[in-house]
Amino acid sequence: MKNYFSSNFKLGVLGGGQLGKMLLTETQKFDIYTCILDGSSEAPCAQICNEFYQGNLLDFDTVYNFGKKVNLLTIEIEHVNIDALLKLEEEGLEIHPQPRVIQTIQHKGKQKDFFVKNKIPTSPHKRFSSLEELKNEKHAFPFVWKSAQFGYDGTGVKVIKSKNDLSLLNDVDCIIEKLIPFKNELAVIVARNKNGEIKTYPVVEMEFHKEANQVEYVICPARISNEVAQKAQKIALKVAESFKHVGLLAVELFQTENDEILVNEVAPRAHNSGHYSIEASYTNQFEQHLRSILNLPLGNTDSKLAGIMVNLVGEEGFSGDVIYKNIDEILKIDGVTPHIYGKKQTRPFRKMGHVTIVNNNVNEARKIAEIVKNTIRVISK
């Protein structure tokens, strides 16, 4: 085994946002030297990594030159320059998840085609290279429109109910999907190392904010039958085995009215749906990511307690220097842990942090989560 700990080994991370910040907690625990590349000098990771570089993640030279400084490269965001990664890989740099995996996943059209090719259940879809091309075809409304690239947290996703709604869309490479009536949105995080060792976390349930199309609550364990949970984990494992990725893969799923499981989309990294694991699991998702990419034995994915995550997002009507109002009130409640991401500026619906609630009883945890959600406010001066 290579010596990663208290050594000259350098781990490079493309992206320095909150996922990178939570990953750094684990690299610091293991004393692994980290180099971060991010577009903003005020990125959450900027002050806490060993080396910080500011630069555009989509620029070939920036990503390539950064890769030459490190011994192994990973990502905390998939919107990165793939050509630079392919060249670095060709020159012998170890990159996890592999560039070909990121390349498929970062384009929603290629991602959906991959599901179809590998017989992974997913909603019917069609690809379009422009808005013009989309408008020239007849469609059965309603349908879901997704920008093929650079969408996140509800950005780049719209439900199109009539022909008039087409005028609201951006002129970009896109896909449309059949609108699926579903009972639950679920997610499974799968970890896989280079040896092919593979583990899944328990199935979680996601409750969404209707306006912002962002996850409001992540609930673990999901309040579903064992049969549905096993089906979801089996499909998530099939996705991971099909990609043969190294690292974490977050698989977002729909549970239909008939209890069928369909894959919505995947992310090749730590994910919002796994944040609960920091407090609730034996091995949190960020430590597991490190174990995966360094080809170490994977940790126990079981939960110690039920865990619920509440997203902290900027309140509507507030932009500017952030204030976390009533944070002292939620700290009085047993089993409540806030995570503040270090973004100095708030704006409506911007992800600013999250709060985890742990309890022996998932329904009790959900009640406390509601109290937390209604108490803490992310506002500005």
264 marked as binding residue: yes
- The secondary element (H helix, E strand) that includes residue 26 is helix 18-30
- Provide the phi-psi class of 321: left if phi over 0, else alpha when psi is between -120 and 50, else beta: beta
Rg (CA), the chain: 20
Nearest to 245 by CA among 296, 301, 197, 277: 197
- Take residue 359 and report the two structure tokens written for it: 């309890």
Instruction: Assess contact for 10 and 2: CB atoms under 8 A.
Output: no
367 marked as binding residue: no
Which residues fall within 8 angstroms of residue 215, CB to CB, at 6 or more apart? 206, 207, 208, 209, 272, 273, 311
Upstream peptide bond of 297 is cis (omega within 30 degrees of 0): no
Which residues fall within 8 angstroms of residue 128, CB to CB, at 6 or more apart? 134, 137, 173, 174, 175, 176
- How open is the CA angle 152-155-160, to the nearest 5 degrees? 130
Strands (E), 16-130: 33-38, 51-54, 72-75, 94-95, 125-128
Q: Which residue has the tokens 């899944």?
A: 200
272 marked as binding residue: no
User: 35 by DSSP, 3-state: which?
Assistant: strand
Which residues fall within 8 angstroms of residue 211, CB to CB, at 6 or more apart? none
Q: Are strands 320-325 and 377-380 parallel, antiparallel or unpaired?
A: antiparallel
370 marked as binding residue: no
Instruction: Assess contact for 190 and 199: CB atoms under 8 A.
Output: yes
185 marked as binding residue: yes
Q: How many CB atoms lie within 10 A of CB 279?
A: 20
216 marked as binding residue: no
Q: Which residue has the tokens 């392919």?
A: 86
Binding-site residue numbers are: 108, 146, 177-180, 185, 264-265
Binding-site residue numbers for ATP are: 108, 146, 177-180, 185, 264-265
